[in-house]
Structure 1
Amino acid sequence: MEQYALYTHPLSNRDDTLALRIVSLSSQNPAFYPSISAALQASISGDTILVEPGTYRESLVIDKAVSLVGNGGSTKVVIESIDLPCLSLQANAIRVEGFTLRNHLAVQPNQYGVVDVSSGQVEIVDCDLSSASYACLVVSGSSAAANLRHCHIHDSDGYGVLVCMVGSCKLEQCTIQGNAQAEVAALQNSDLSLQDCTLCHGRGYGVLIDGCSQGRLLRCDIYDNAQPGVAVYQESVADLLACKLHHGRASGVTFCQQARGLVQDCEAYANIGSAIEVKQQSTPTIRSCKIYKGKWSGIFVGDASQGIIEDCEIFDNVMAGIEVAWESNPIIRHCQIHRHSYQGIAVFQGGRGIVADCDLSQNVLGSISVEPGSLVYQERNSG
């Protein structure tokens, strides 16, 4: 069966849906359509709908395997909606490429995104998403999976990307910025992957991974967010590899509520809070990281947490290089911890730990201080 190619063409320069026509160039099915919705209705799985420059005021439901492609790039092809998603995606093998997608509010909104993915594996490429509502993108449900590349996701009153209820999302080379609650969040046993992304200027979290969810971040640049750059909560797991976490208005990374994971080959610097916080029985591994010039301690471990800190360089933080408190018991080994105005390592309020094979030189108040009631086993340290 021949598969049709559906095209749209503006009849005039007016930004008005009534000034648009959509025409199929298939030799078997030439036709004109009054809207993108009508073209979708006429399409079959495998079709590509090529949308010419213009502003299309529609809320589209796509429930078949079609490609919706903006001809001319996202700045020239706009889909906008009021009090509804621009796109509701509900099938496998949907591809959306080259659009500006935005929604506006007339009344108090329900919880939706400018793009909602409720089922199927979909691909979104080279799009600009913004939303006056709950989120720019929502991926929700165990059969929902979204892959995004080269997208700009910004200025939502809630989340840039929200993955929930066992959903799955992968973002590559995307910029996510200026969102209110979190740039990206994975909740309720969901799965999130970010590669070569920038997450910045947020009014909330950079990345929030909560409710037994999983996250993987590779070579991401995360900065200037009001809450932790990456927050891993409530038995969630996150791996951060070769990321930069800097100039945050809170901590760079926080593990809390029995969270775990790996922070490896990362740089964390110039954050107002501790570069890395480990709280409430969390157990991450922090390996081969460079942690410096923070406005508080380099790493804080508290609330009966454990974990491993190894092969890290920690220097020039305002407080101690590492603080251990409240019955926490980490292993610290093969680290260089130096040039702090306070101690290299400060252990207090019942903190414990093992410190081995570390260089603790050039700290103003000494290498290690252990408050009465705390206990540290030390071996082969210098400084």
Structure 2
Amino acid sequence: MQSSTRFCDSCGAINRADARFCYACGQPQLTYASTATGLLTTSHTLKQRYSILDKIGQGGFGAVYKVEDMLFQNALRAVKEMGMRGLSPQETQEAIAAFKNEAVLLANLSHPNLPHIYDHFEGHGRWYLVMDYVEGETLEKRLEQAPGGKLSIEQVLEIGLQLCSVLNYLHNHQPPIIFRDLKPDNVMLGDDNHLCLIDFGIARFFKPGQAKDTVSLGTPGYASPEQYGRMQTSAASDIYSLGATLHHLISGINPGLTPFLFQPLELDQATSGNAALDTLIMSMVELKVEKRPTSTESIREELQHIQQMRQNQQASYKRLARRIPPPPPASIEPTIPLEPQQILVVAQEGDGQYTTIGEALQHAQSNAFILVRPGMYQESLQLDKEVTIIGNGAKEDIILENCESHTIEMQTSQATIRGLTIRCLANASNQIYHALAIVQGQLLIEDCDFTSHAGTCVTIQGENTNPTLRYCTLHDSFGHGILVSKDAWGTFERCDIFASSQAAVCIARGGNPMFRHCTLHDNQQEGIIVEEGGQGTFEDCTIYNNGASGAIVSAQSNPLLLRCQIHHNQRHGITIQDRGQGSFQECAIHANGTDNVLIASGSTPYFYHCTIFESSQSGVLIKDQGLGTLEYCDIYRNQLANISITTGGNPRITHCTIHEGKRSGIAISASGQGHIEQCTFRENAEKALAITPGCEVTLKANHIEEAKSAS
């Protein structure tokens, strides 16, 4: 049966089927048989100008053709065709508006990663947009052809930088433009890997003050939570989609399978920059807008930094490879099932299935989700199933506490906990309990708050133990904030560890964890203790305001500290004693209460490209047969000597710059020794080298500029 109405080709308004002109806009109404798209063949010429060569895409509301523009010497173009068959009146108006929006939007933009618009027109119930033809394939097709469905880190960094460039251009347009549908299928890659952002059909101008968008648009998995109607999309929405896209390119996992649930990337942590890349991408896909990076420009700068780390620092790290502890064994990341068998709700108010977490855990099947609503849950958990426990509200309102045992004890191979406050309270018997005790498995913990008045916040032990803690706070511990021992591993990212009665972190008996972008501060004793053969790696961490030293290394322990800031600790910045070892690279060690660095008792640390300055005593003190190497370090403005060597200390100091000391550059006394080669001394208040007679020192090829006041 033929419809008695038709839609206007220009504005989408409903008209009588036999209407010759639209009652709403006055445009003439043409007669045509069908509005189906993708039917044009090589015999067709559009607008007497565009000769069809091939159909190169079909989907959504239309098709895309490769054409020749006969007015410009048969230049290749792409023509996007949109039809309205099967749409309701409201959908028709929205489709026409989206198409016109794309044409007007792109016509006023100019960027190397955006297509140029040449023309747009209507014909026979279809709309056409003429733009640059990009020789190549979509990023989606590139992924399908790539081994394992993933790209190399080098390729992803190049793609990420280009996407940041074009998104930054759009976000800084006046008014800002939010793309809202970034995904691999909307990115065209040319043969030279130059990319072009395509399909602006749902892009929109950002309207300050508007609470939410009129419609919820985007692609599940890539679309941010705010695109589901809760609030207006903004630049942060594109940042989420960019993070989801980069995660897909690296992991090969389509985010549409499990929207909003991203597992940490399995990158080789021994490669410089990989840890920072993982952290950056995971921050981009945070559910909360305020936790994401503030702009695509800041993301671009971080990607450039990561790229430079990989390219420019590779030689340095290869040279030092023998000093870097091996990466942890391949861990089994906690996985979230694509189709969970159960979702269990815990609520104290009785509107869930269970009133305690323990009850839900008892009835949970493997891979179940347990959602915990706000409340005070006074219980302990024996985590003996592979489940995911997620706080369903603000973590400060979801409290799990106990005083009679460990609050949570990990007793399974894999599990996940997110968004809880976890407390271990003091008990009358003074028994030592921990907020979280992990003795096996790979536990993933995110965005949790830990305190323990009966022991340590988190204790990890056992050679098969390798948990991951991200975005957690650990504070007010009766013991250490974190204890890793008995050959255990573990990864800690962007955690804040403070106000412990002992050290923020203690690593002992072969423990070998990884800390990235963590802060360790205001603890009553040390920031870090590494003892009894402990190892561990600390990257980009800040260690300050601790009641004793920033870090103590002893008993043949051998940690690695990269790019750490160690300052304003009450005693030494770093103490290496009792045959301790350790490698300290590109660290800033300054303004500590006594010496910035103390090396004693046969210890053999290695300092490379560190800056050591402004201590209240010596910059570096080597004593009591302390050894060690300082290479390419910048040591300056310390209150006593920049470097003091005494009582049998015997370091090797090469290629260092030693300057502006309040007293001597290097002071050697009491049978001190040392090998000092190719160092530069300048502007030290007293002597560049103050060597007491009887000290055996080897000097070679040093450049010395004595201060004018030096005698």
Superposed pair shares fold, TM > 0.5: yes
Residue aligning to 2:650: 329
1:128-139 correspondence to structure 2 within 5 Å: 128-139=449-460
Answer yes or no: is 1:343 the counterpart of 2:646. no
Aligned to 1:76: 397
CA contact 1:83–1:107 (8 Å) conserved in 2: no
Letter of the 2:373 counterpart: E
Inter-partner Cα distance in structure 2 for 1:95 and 1:130? 19
Structure 1 position 4 matched with structure 2 position 325: no
Could you tell me whether the CA contact under 8 Å between 2:615 and 2:639 is conserved in 1? yes
Matches within 5 A, 1:1-383: 3-11=341-349, 20=350, 22-23=352-353, 33-381=354-702, 382-383=704-705
Check whether the contact 2:564–2:588 (CA below 8 A) recurs between aligned residues: yes
Shift of 1:54: 1.2
> C-alpha displacement at 1:110, in angstroms?
2.4
Q: Tell whether the 8 Å contact from 1:207 to 1:231 is kept in structure 2 after alignment.
A: yes
Q: Secondary structure at the match of 1:134?
A: coil
Greater mean deviation of Cα atoms: 281-290 or 301-310: 301-310
Identical aligned pairs, as a percentage? Answer: 31
SS in 1 for 2:366: coil
1:82 and 1:111 map into 2 onto residues whose CA distance is: 10
For this pair of structures, how many residues does the alignment match? Answer: 366
Distance (whole Å) between structure 2 residues aligned to residue 8 and residue 134 of structure 1: 28
Which has the larger helix fraction? 2
Contact 1:167 1:190 in 2 (8 A): yes
Task: Provide the rounded CA distance (Å) in 1 between the counterparts of 2:697 and 2:481.
Answer: 43
User: With structure 1 as the length reference, what TM-score do the two structures score?
Assistant: 0.92
SS in 2 for 1:119: coil
Decide whether aligned partners of structure 1 residues 9 and 34 sit closer, same or farther in structure 2, where only a CA change above 3 A counts. closer
Q: Distance in 1 between matches of 2:579 and 2:472?
A: 33
- 8 Å contact from structure 1 (residues 105, 133) kept in 2: yes
Q: Which amino acid aligns with 1:229?
A: G
Per the alignment, in what secondary structure is the counterpart of residue 159 of structure 1? coil
Counterpart in the other structure of 1:14: none
Cα displacement string for residues 41-70 of structure 1 (whole angstroms, at most 9, x for unaligned residues): 111211110101111111111111111110
- Shift, 1:103, TM fit: 2.0
Say if 1:201 and 1:263 are closer, same or farther in 2 by CA, change over 3 A: same
2:284 corresponds in structure 1 to none
* Contact kept in structure 2, 1:140 and 1:165, CA below 8 Å: yes
Verify the 8 A CA contact 2:592 2:616 in the aligned structure 1.
Answer: yes
Q: Is the 8 A contact 1:59 1:86 kept in 2?
A: yes
Mean Cα deviation higher: 139-148 or 152-161: 139-148
Check 1:245–1:366 CA distance in 2 against 1; reply closer, same or farther (3 A cut): same
Given the superposition, is the C-alpha separation of residues 306 and 159 from structure 1 closer, same or farther in structure 2, using an over 3 Å criterion? same
Q: Matched residues in 1 for 2:374 and 2:576: separation?
A: 46
CA shift for structure 1 position 2: 6.5
What SS is found at the alignment partner of 1:155?
Answer: strand
Matched residue, 2:192:
none
Shift of the alpha carbon at 1:254?
1.2
Q: Gapped runs of 5+ residues in structure 1?
A: 12-19, 24-32
Partner AA of 1:149 in structure 2:
R
Secondary structure of 1:205's counterpart equals coil
Once the 2 structures are TM-superposed, how far is the Cα of residue 131 of structure 1 from its aligned partner? 1.0
Give the distance between the partners of 2:536 and 2:577, measured in 1 at CA. 14
Q: Which residue identity does 2:343 align to in structure 1?
A: A
The Cα offsets for residues 80-138 of structure 1, whole Å up to 9 and x where unpaired, read as 11232211111111111100011222313323211111111111110000111111111
C-alpha distance in 2 between matches for 1:78 and 1:370: 61
Task: Give 1:154 shift.
Answer: 0.2
**1:231-287, CA deviations, whole angstroms, 9 ceiling, x for partnerless residues?**
111110011110000011011111111111211111111101211111111111111
- Preserved CA contact (<8 Å) 2:503 2:528: yes
For 1:26, the equivalent position in structure 2 comes to: none
- Alignment match, 1:15: none
**What's the TM-score once normalised by structure 2's chain length?**
0.50
- The answer on whether the counterparts of 1:256 and 1:280 sit within 8 Å (CA) in structure 2 is yes
In the alignment, is the contact (CA less than 8 A) between 1:83 and 1:109 conserved in 2? no
Distance 1:275 1:165 in 2: 30
> Unpaired segments of 5 or more residues in structure 2?
1-338, 706-711
Q: Structure 1 residues 108 and 168, CA, compared in 2 at 3 Å: closer, same or farther?
A: farther
